[in-house]
Structure 1
């Protein structure tokens, strides 16, 4: 992903999403699937909202991509084509495909550290 200078500046200003001042935060509501500016959600009243990374744009139209990249601000997986954070990363574990969102932090870091090779 080729992050713009403005996006990289945001990543340098904050070390984590919790450091973003409340007045600058945007939230993802997974109940009504909206991006809102306040917590709780003004549309459905949901109180368990996820702080949205300022580098996320929530609009990925890519279906399957072989590689994955990670956000320099929040560390979540992003689409290497467009930078959207709304991706599902799957891995083959002992013959089964599985969503890695349920993995513990150590196993997710191991996945990030893997070296991938391509046979030419």
Structure 2
């Protein structure tokens, strides 16, 4: 993923999501599936919507991609073509495909640390 100069500056400015000033934060509400500017969600009242990464634009037009990259700011999986955080990462474990969002933190880090090879 080629991050833009603006995205690189944001990643350098904020070391983690909680460093984002309150007035600049946006939130993803997983109850009503909206992006809101305040917490709690003004639409449904969800008390703890997820702090949205400033590098996330939430609009990925890709259906299925073979690779995945990780956000330099929040560490979440991102689309390697457009950088959207709105992706579901699946991996083959013990013979079946599974969404990795349910994995514990150690297993997810192990997946990020894997070395990926391309056969030329």
Range class of TM-score, shorter chain? over 0.9
Q: Give 1:72's aligned residue.
A: 72
* 5+ residue gaps, structure 2: none
Q: TM-score, length-normalised on structure 1?
A: 0.96
Task: Name whichever of 36-45 and 110-119 sits farther off.
Answer: 110-119
2:80 and 2:112 map into 1 onto residues whose CA distance is 14
The structural deviation recorded for 1:118 is 2.4
Q: Give 1:93's aligned residue.
A: 93
2:23 and 2:55 map into 1 onto residues whose CA distance is 17
Question: Number of aligned pairs?
Answer: 120
SS of residue in 2 equivalent to 1:110: helix
The structural deviation recorded for 1:78 is 0.1
SS of residue in 2 equivalent to 1:65: coil
Q: Give 1:111's aligned residue.
A: 111
1:119 and 1:51 map into 2 onto residues whose CA distance is 38
Moved beyond 6 Å, runs of 4+: none
Structure 2 matches for 1:20-59, cutoff 5 A? 20-59=20-59
2:106 and 2:41 map into 1 onto residues whose CA distance is 32
1:16 and 1:82 map into 2 onto residues whose CA distance is 21
